[in-house]
Amino acid sequence: MDVSAERGFLSGAATEAAPHLLDALITHDSPDGTVTLRITEVEAYAGQHDPASHAFRGPTPRTEVMFGPAGRLYVYRSHGLHWCANIVTGPEGEASAVLLRGAEVIDGIDLARHRRGPTIRDRDLARGPGRFCQALGVTGAHGGVDLSTGELRLSALGTAPGQRIRTGPRVGVSRAADRPWRFWLDGEATVSPYRASPDD
């Protein structure tokens, strides 16, 4: 699939783009080697229309990348501990992004295990947004990168069979918690367990 077609899948709102990211591949060619993940779980965040989004109150130096263009990476640190990555979606000027929550390592599993730990089970290497970034080797230095070029790239969007896609509330979200904007592939061991926000 060419770059323009890939961009087409990401041009809609986060809730429209999110299902197209399931079963897609994200590859990182780092100096240490190559890791490819097959995405199995994501969450949509609708910017200024979504009180759970970092961009709810408008652009800041931290969230500016979320306002476009689509196909770039928004990276943030969660609780001061783990890097988390979102793919920017939607038309430029409207904040919209999809959090990468879970994936299967399909290439570079030895490198992913080196990054995550020697005793980590295969299903847990990229199960959860912090683990996803750690296995893939993504850090804050990758914020704003274009996923159609360079060392990080996205491919095979829109390949997940519709009958396998499930939806439900987002994990750990206290605002707009009732929105079913988490999407995952049914039957995948790499999908993280649902947990409500402790503030609920």
Span 109-166, pLDDT tens digits:
999 999 999 999 999 999 999 999 999 999 999 999 999 888 999 999 999 999 999 9
pLDDT at 179 over 50: yes
Q: What is the pLDDT of residue 6?
A: 60
| Region label for 9, one of left (φ > 0), alpha (ψ between -120 and 50) or beta (otherwise) | alpha
Q: What is the pLDDT of residue 7?
A: 65
| Region label for 47, one of left (φ > 0), alpha (ψ between -120 and 50) or beta (otherwise) | left
Q: Residue 165 and residue 5: Cα distance in Å, rounded?
A: 21
What radius of gyration, in Å, describes the C-alpha atoms of the chain? 15
Instruction: Look at residue 93 and give its three-state secondary structure.
Output: coil
Q: What is the pLDDT of residue 65?
A: 92
pLDDT at 44 over 90: yes
* Domains and their CATH numbers in the chain: 3-185 (3.10.300.10)
1 — pLDDT class (breaks 50, 70, 90): very low
Q: What is the pLDDT of residue 5?
A: 47
Mean of the per-residue pLDDT values of the chain: 90
The pTM score is 0.92
